[in-house]
Structure 1
Amino acid sequence: MKGWVLCALLAASPVWAQAPATPAPASAKLPEAEPSGVQARVQPERVLLGEPFVYELMLTHPANQRYELELPPDLGDFELLSQERTPPEGGKEPAVTTFRLRMSAFKLGSLTLPEVPFAVSTPEGPQRYVAPGRTLEVGSTLPEDAQSKGEDLRDIQPPAEVAVRSFTLVWVALGVLAAALLAVVAWRFFQKYRERVRAAVAPPLPLDVRTRQALDSLKTEDLPAQGRVKDFYFRLSEILRGYLGERYGFDALECTSSELMARLRGLHAPGLPEDGLMRFISESDLVKYARAESSADSCRDSLSFGYSLLDKTWPPPLPPEAVNVSHASGPRVS
């Protein structure tokens, strides 16, 4: 009897039914950043159901910080259509970063936009900031007198049958599709054959050797002495991201800075200098995207960090089974 009463209470309570417990994200443990100024606006302030609108956030912060969006995949009654980030102008203090979210709403009435979380890169390390949501009025696409006239939103109509007088176009389309599939299969077969031939002719060098050769080549070019500091940091960042991705098995080149650090923190990576890597990423992003200046000594220290990162994370540690076997098969001392 108590079980039936509990089920009835759960079914009748919209609060319990719509608020499932969700685990706190890992980023919630990071220190909270506080921008010096936040301006938020919605254009237009009143939209129609399903009509696109722009949610603009202007964050004022120190120039040595970088803000990046970390939107959740589920935005409730809202859908994200596109997003745009305008970085701050280089050399200005304080800096202003602008985010424009193009969204649409699918519920009538006064709605509250979801909170917008940001990953913040600072010289002290990664932090987090959450911008509070604001209210938006969503109206119906029907005129005000629609209900009095018996008009209402119509549901999606079921599929309707369409008479086809000739199947010629159908056969032509099937023929084109079959030819395209054959072409794709043939191309993939050719690609695999060519990759096998290349692998047989020249086996790739080990990862640490390729990475060290890339660092040596970058050091020889001496791009900072040519005034190409931005190109230097792009090249060095690409080398280190490629190494980390291949070393730990994920596509690091396609990750944002916050996504890269989050993936690495979730892996077993003994010896990985997280603090040094976070400082390098922050300095690299400031030079690449915020047009910050960097001295020759800073470039030299960043390149030295690349060698240090390689030395501390290579070779990969042996699994416990292999370590036990090596100890067991060691030479005996009489």
Structure 2
Amino acid sequence: MNRLVLHKRLKEAFWGILVMLLPLSVKAQNVTVEASIDSMQILIGEQTKVRLEVSLDAHQKMVLPVIRDTLVHGIEVLDIAKPDTQYLNNKQRLLVTQEYLVTSFDSAFYYIPPFVVAVDGKPYQSKSLALKVLTLPVPIDEAHPEQFFGPKGIMEAPFVWSDWALVIWLSLFVIPLVILVVYLVIRYKDNKPILRTIKIEPKLPPHQQALNEIERIKADKSWRQSGESKAYYTELTDTIRTYIKERFGFNALEMTSSEIIDRLLQEKDQKLIDELKGLFETADLVKFAKHHPLMNENDMNLINAIDFINQTKIEQDPNAKPIPTEITVEEKRSRYAKIALLSSIIILVVAIVGMLVVVIRDIYNLCF
């Protein structure tokens, strides 16, 4: 064991003396090639720079050595800087500097051979270099040299919320999406009809509509103030004609007054028809002959219209079934609704699959 150590130390001393005896530069004609290293001794994993400088005439052509990932076995090249070119002597000379960032992970004494630079096709060499790589000093308990400790166990990384936030939120968001997809699939398969509720406004009986309209005419004072009876009788007779149409079933709106009276004679007593006939005759005189009836005559015609409605109205049966105000209509699902439903299912499934892929990928990256 002592012999091996002695041999290693003699080898290191030999290379050190050899490096010191080598010339610092090699000159030939006008070309100078120099190599240097920032530190000849580093610890394992430390970095140092190797610098190559070439001086030549400006008209000469130069080719630097091609170096890739290692200088020699055991010395790794981490980075190769871009060559720096400087002009000297009024641009008659060039100084080219190339730097290499190197490191080593094995303790040893390394010999770096000369760099070869080609200038105008002729090789020129730099000096050789040496690099000594040392291990980190390890403290030793000299009082208890027999005690030693094995490697420590693997430490678990602490839980960091930000690392798992995306996984947790996506997982929580996937659950309601899955429930929604299941619901839409069930709806798509059962093909149940769509239920639509329609509100129905109950229709008033004809006599009620007519009496409401007469009350409106009676309350309207504009015709009294202007003295225009034509608008009054027009509205009153139109109301009676509409009632007759709804009550008796013939189109009184398209008939003359005499035609209406003749048709009603087949239905009711003569006295009631005479009162209605007087109303129509007065209305015709007002509209076509510019007749101006007295106020009591207007009121009498209004009363006669109300009496005619009350005498001819049909009372509702109190035992009759009330008409519903709302009905429910079943409509079959349309083709476009099915397409929209199926498209929604496909989009949701794709979104869920994408989220699950992201969740599984992040869990794998965080755990393995």
TM-score band by shorter chain is 0.3 to 0.5
* Structure 1 length-normalised TM: 0.33
Rg larger in structure: 2
TM superposition score normalised by structure 2: 0.30
